[in-house]
């Protein structure tokens, strides 16, 4: 297992390096710059700003300097927020984004797993068609469409839930969490259905039924462990995707999370903020993929045996 973790960690290094390289040169190839604005500044001030943020250096030298600072744990100062570092801004917005992602993941796992298991118990019947049809709708409907629809129905027409903000009340968190988690609930429903259908035809379940075990025990104790294995493998990448994909939802519901800084950085050409957020989220995706593989190996003894070989 430790050998597997070490190899996967080494494989992550060129992936993250490629993300840094591509992002670094793409943001500099975009029109405009971090200090371009409608209000013109004198050439002396422009030169001083570029020297302060090392923009007067050749691009390759800037790249090497950024990698050197990044290895030392420094993502650099923000161009848009004077006196504040990218590390500080990420740490400020991350807790809210992580909380939103956690709520969305819980909704996705509970609803998706339940729908998938129910559909797998009676395949090719209405009990199967209805949840799978809803899952297909959830996959096809993007969050920027689902969010306004939920706001219109539950926030404006029925006046049941707040439509913006992120306070101490759990009511503020319901609509954003559902909007963000709906698509992932649909994916989990399809994964759990296919996993359960595969497990239900296994010989050990026939043996359990032949022993006279109740069907509820066969499903809950034996089938779920193997049937939900694809869902467990999906949870790591899903949570990382929820964190990196929450920007639209945060914008719709005016949530002060990490997405706000990322969107503003894109509009304001805040190079270091764009780079820092991209590197941070890319690293999260790699880490959560590794954790999901470890969790799958813990659930499935055959995978643990393969890792030991």
Band of the pLDDT at 241, cuts 50, 70, 90?
Answer: confident
DSSP structural state of residue 18: H
pLDDT (average), residues 36-53 = 69
- Per the CB < 8 A criterion, the answer to whether 134 and 187 are in contact is no
What pLDDT shows up at residue 209? 75
What pLDDT shows up at residue 47? 78
Q: What is the pLDDT of residues 75-100, one digit of tens each?
A: 888 888 777 888 888 888 888 888 88
What is the Cα–Cα distance from 123 to 229, expressed in whole angstroms? 19
- Per the CB < 8 A criterion, the answer to whether 118 and 195 are in contact is no
What pLDDT shows up at residue 106? 92
pLDDT (average), residues 26-38 = 71
Taking 80 as the threshold, does the pLDDT of residue 213 lie above it?
no
Identify the three-state secondary structure at position 249.
Answer: helix
Highest mean pLDDT among 148-157, 230-239, 289-298: 148-157
What is the Cα–Cα distance from 51 to 236, expressed in whole angstroms? 41
What pLDDT shows up at residue 269? 80
Q: What is the pLDDT of residues 287-300, one digit of tens each?
A: 877 777 776 666 66
Sort residue 76 into left (φ over 0), alpha (ψ -120 to 50) or beta: left
Band of the pLDDT at 117, cuts 50, 70, 90?
Answer: confident
Dihedral Cα 214, 216, 219, 220, nearest 10 deg: -120
Band of the pLDDT at 224, cuts 50, 70, 90?
Answer: confident
Taking 80 as the threshold, does the pLDDT of residue 127 lie above it?
yes
What pLDDT shows up at residue 245? 73
Range of weakest confidence among 36-40, 79-83, 257-261, 263-267? 36-40
- Sign of the torsion angle spanned by Cα atoms 146, 151, 154, 156: negative
Band of the pLDDT at 111, cuts 50, 70, 90?
Answer: very high
Identify the three-state secondary structure at position 124.
Answer: coil
Taking 80 as the threshold, does the pLDDT of residue 179 lie above it?
yes
β-partners of residue 85 are 77
What pLDDT shows up at residue 39? 58
Band of the pLDDT at 257, cuts 50, 70, 90?
Answer: confident
The number of helix segments (H) and strand segments (E) in the chain equals 15, 0
What pLDDT shows up at residue 76? 83
pLDDT (average), residues 150-178 = 84
């Amino acid at each position: 297992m430790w050998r597997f973790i070490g190899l996967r960690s080494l494989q992550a290094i060129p992936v993250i390096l490629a993300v840094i390289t591509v992002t670094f040169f793409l943001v500099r190839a975009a029109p405009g710059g971090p200090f371009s604005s409608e209000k013109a500044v004198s050439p002396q001030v422009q030169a001083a700003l570029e020297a302060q943020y090392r923009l007067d250096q050749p691009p390759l030298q800037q790249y090497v300097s950024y990698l050197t600072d990044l290895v030392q744990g420094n993502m650099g100062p923000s161009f848009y927020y004077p006196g504040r570092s990218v590390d500080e801004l990420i740490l400020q917005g991350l807790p809210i984004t992580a909380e939103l992602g956690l709520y969305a993941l819980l909704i996705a796992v509970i609803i998706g797993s339940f729908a998938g298991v129910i559909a797998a118990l009676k395949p090719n019947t209405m009990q199967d068609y209805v949840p799978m049809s809803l899952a297909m709708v959830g996959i096809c409907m993007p969050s920027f469409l689902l969010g306004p629809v939920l706001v219109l129905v539950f926030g404006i027409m029925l006046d049941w839930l707040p439509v913006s903000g992120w306070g101490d009340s759990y009511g503020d968190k319901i609509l954003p969490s559902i909007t963000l988690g709906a698509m992932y609930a649909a994916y989990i429903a399809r994964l759990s259905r296919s996993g359960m259908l595969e497990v239900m035809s296994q010989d050990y379940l026939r043996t359990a039924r032949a022993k006279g075990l109740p069907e509820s025990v066969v499903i809950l104790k034996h089938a779920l462990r193997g049937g939900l294995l694809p869902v467990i493998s999906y949870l790591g990448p899903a949570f990382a995707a929820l964190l990196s994909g929450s920007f639209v939802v945060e914008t719709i519901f005016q949530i002060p999370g990490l997405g706000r800084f990322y969107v503003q950085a894109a509009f304001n050409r805040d190079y270091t903020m764009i780079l820092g957020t991209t590197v941070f989220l890319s690293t999260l995706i790699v880490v959560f993929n590794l954790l999901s593989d470890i969790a799958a190996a813990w659930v499935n003894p055959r995978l643990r045996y393969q890792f030991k070989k």
